[in-house]
Structure 1
Amino acid sequence: MVHGAAVVLVVVSLGWVSVFGFVEPWIAVAFGVLIALGEVARTALPGERDQAPLGAAGALAYALLGSLAGERTHHGVAQVVLVWSIAALVGAVPSLVRGRRPNADSAARRVLAVGFAALLFQPLYNRGVLLRHGLEHGPGYAAYIAACAGLSAGVDVCLAALLSETPLRRALCDETTALLRIGSAVAATGVVISIAAGEIGLWALPLFSVPLLLTQAGFRRYAAIRATQRQTIASLARATEVAGYTLPGHAQRVATIARGVGRELGLSDQELLLLEYAALMHDIGQLSLVDPIPGGATALLCPEEQRRIGRLGSEVIRRTGVPPEVAEIVARAAEPYRGADGASDGGPPLAARIVRVANAYDDLACDDPGPARREEVLAQLRAGTEREYEPRVVEALARVCPRISG
């Protein structure tokens, strides 16, 4: 539905501009170049978000542009949408050349959010409504533009949550958190450029883009550090495979399953990150064994041996610089969901329960990932929900497995 609405908006905008003409082309080109450069400089941000902050700020500024160097502009909603669409396509060319697939969700969100911002501002400005109400100059003008930017950001958050695989409530929380990180800087930059352009013209574009570029560089550096940390953890996790203690790809499969289950259960971005780290390193304690377990299947060991491997793995992890929560998850993943008295209160944290279920599933199903074997393994896990595995985690796994297998 979101994709369809975005396509309809672009087609309608193209038709409108074709009929009524393209106005002030040099202004459109200047903002289009800024948007395209922002798309080229697209970067990975926390929470697996691939964004173009500079391009988003440029599009927002053009949507909220009223005057340029003291002269009124006359572009409308349709031209704003068309300029963004063309610039985004041009900016995506380098990524396409490198073989990267465009992010359709991000494009649909952005065109609808930009179109919404332009709809709030352009008709009222071009028809003189803001002027008649004293909102075309001074603090009132700045406040109205800021309100338009804020509402546009809210629309973007809602659309992102609708397109997310995460449950809606959790997705709204995650997207709102992301908005408070880089989204607030994007909105502020767009507002400042649109207001400043009214006084100093197109010089506002490069001048007020610099702070956002510096902010984006800081996020890019953080993302690079986190990617390096994950690569280090993944390499350490492969030590058990290289040494012959676990089957090839076991750690990565468990991490993929655990992350899917965690997302299904509504874990936040930070919780998903810790869960993934723990899932990758959950078998590191096997390196202490004299003889490898057949197939590396810890789910088939006695409870005491599982806990011993979990404790040893936890001690290794605490010395690697990984967040301490990861070591705690690995240690507790060896514990059953319910205690000996049958109570679940005070049991392992949710992340540990997820890792336990994901590991058991891969241990039992890795030899035959087909649908028949999958249902058989899920039946075994359901049979263990009285004590070993949390029922809601197993049911979340049952929903996630077909998507992962597909």
Structure 2
Amino acid sequence: MTRRAAASPVIVAAAGAAGGLTLYALGHTLWYGLEERGIALAFGILIAVGELARWGGRGAPGAVAREPAPLGAAGALAYALLGESGGAPTHHGVLQIIAVVAAATLAGAVPHVALGRGPSLDHLIRRILTVSFAAVCFQPLYNSGELQELVGLGPWYALWLVAVLVFTALCDAVLSAVLTRARTHWPYGPLLRDELRALVGIGSAVGATGAVMSLAVAVAGLWALPVFSAPLLLTQLAFRRYAAVRTTYRQTITSLARATEIAGYTPSGHARRVAALSCAVGRDLGLSEADLTVLEYAALMHDIGQLSLVDPIPAGATALLPPADQRRIALLGGAVVRQTGVPSDVAVVVERQADPYRDQPLTARIVRTANAYDELSRSAGPSGMLTALERLRLGTAHDYHPEVVESLSRVVGRGV
């Protein structure tokens, strides 16, 4: 279990900026009233519905959550980039946009909060700050008439919207990586890389839908909202089905990994602890999301080869066995994994976890080190953590990679 720590100054500053901006925008809007109330209500309902339909899939331990409410995000961006409705110019400004988006997001999140699965603080911060950025880039120029003088209302206008969306998406990726880095202390570079890769998928769909919505409403009016939001809503439902399948797949692997515990070959919870440690070390060393998934599955199934043994190893402690026995169990485990339909990359990690570390891929080095740490710390009593780390450091000449051991030390020091 992760030890709770004081809130990072970065998160406090971001939350303060988003919260202060929201309160000021709400106060300003309540004081001066809403411009184009029908339009504000329509977009508010769309954003709230998007939040009501939010989803979340479970990935590797500690995995970064992607956009859980793409319809709500697209609606918020469309409202921020709206200049006309049915051919008539709109007059809502940046503060009204922030107020409507914040109020609708919170309203749509109420049922989820009541069920104990409301949006995270990072999600709310990103929604407010990124929509504010898009609105500031578009609304002042449009309302002053300068945008029309610069690009007109033809193709260049659409390109301007796309440019604003691209910069907004980049800002959101940077902000997400910064917040995750502040919360978890994972390396910033890999976090930003994963966020940028995610823009190609759901991020591009959200941005494109937001741009199309704003352009369609400008021509056809509010009737365009349900027409252009339906495809993204259907896509969101498809993603929910896909996430459910992935979750079931992961649960199946977890159940299969528990076979060694049920049969008495390994202690209860060993596979789960090794998987959690392995994923934390993988994050610390900057592995991608795809590699983390392979790492988690391999860590869960790393002891599956012990089922072939006639006599169980005492406490399932393979780290204390001779290298030849470790290698035999690893090869048997890899053969079992290949018969389960799990990706072959997982079987490779299971097979090579007992190789000398200089010959191993990084994922196998991590699994081997995390497994040894859990076994050594469990058998060493109250001083298990320090004793296990000391023995791992002594084994860096041949058995354990020094960089992985030091990463494990940092992870354990943070309370994982």
Query: Which residue is 2:370 aligned to?
Result: 358
Q: Percent identity?
A: 55
Query: Which residue is 2:90 aligned to?
Result: 73
1:284 to 2:301 alignment: no
Q: Once structures 1 and 2 are overlaid, which stretch shifts more, 3-12 or 248-257?
A: 3-12
- 1:101–1:211 Cα change, 3 Å: closer
1:63 to 2:80 alignment: yes
Q: Which of the residues 118, 125, 129 maps onto 1:108?
A: 125
Matching residue's letter, 1:54: L
Distance 1:98 1:376 in 2: 43
Note if contact 2:55-2:69 (Cα within 8 Å) is conserved in structure 1: yes
Distance 2:97 2:293 in 1: 38
1:97: Cα distance to partner? 1.6
Query: Which residue is 2:203 aligned to?
Result: 183
1:150: Cα distance to partner? 1.1
1:58: Cα distance to partner? 0.3
Q: Which of the residues 152, 160, 165 maps onto 1:149?
A: 165
Query: Which residue is 2:399 aligned to?
Result: 388
Query: What are the residue-to-residue correspondences of 1:122-271 with 2, within 5 Å?
Result: 122-135=139-152, 137-164=153-180, 165=184, 166-271=186-291
1:19: Cα distance to partner? 4.0
Distance 1:81 1:17 in 2: 9
Query: Which residue is 2:9 aligned to?
Result: none
Note if contact 1:92-1:102 (Cα within 8 Å) is conserved in structure 2: yes
Q: Which of the residues 330, 334, 354 maps onto 1:314?
A: 334
The DSSP-based 3-state class of the residue aligned with 2:222 is: helix
Distance 1:368 1:72 in 2: 73
Please identify runs of 4+ aligned residues in structure 1 that moved more than 4 A. 45-48, 367-370
Distance 1:109 1:293 in 2: 50
RMSD value, Cα = 1.6
Query: Which residue is 1:341 aligned to?
Result: none
Note if contact 2:302-2:330 (Cα within 8 Å) is conserved in structure 1: yes
Higher relative contact order (CA 8 A, sep 6+): 2
User: What are the superposed Cα offsets for residues 222-274 of structure 1, whole Å, 9 maximum, x if unpaired?
Assistant: 22221111111000000000000000000000000000000000000000000
Matching residue's letter, 2:170: G
Distance 2:381 2:145 in 1: 65
1:213: Cα distance to partner? 1.9
The DSSP-based 3-state class of the residue aligned with 2:56 is: strand
1:293 to 2:313 alignment: yes
The DSSP-based 3-state class of the residue aligned with 1:29 is: helix
Distance 1:5 1:375 in 2: 41
Distance 1:394 1:104 in 2: 33
Distance 1:73 1:367 in 2: 70
Q: Which of the residues 5, 22, 31 maps onto 1:10?
A: 22
Distance 1:101 1:138 in 2: 41
The DSSP-based 3-state class of the residue aligned with 1:49 is: coil
1:130: Cα distance to partner? 1.3
User: What are the superposed Cα offsets for residues 168-200 of structure 1, whole Å, 9 maximum, x if unpaired?
Assistant: 111111001111011000000000000000111
Q: Once structures 1 and 2 are overlaid, which stretch shifts more, 123-132 or 174-183?
A: 123-132
TM-score (norm. length: structure 1): 0.94
What 5-or-longer segments of structure 1 have no aligned partner? 338-343
The DSSP-based 3-state class of the residue aligned with 1:320 is: coil
Distance 1:149 1:202 in 2: 21
Matching residue's letter, 2:399: E
1:21: Cα distance to partner? 2.9
What 5-or-longer segments of structure 2 have no aligned partner? 1-12
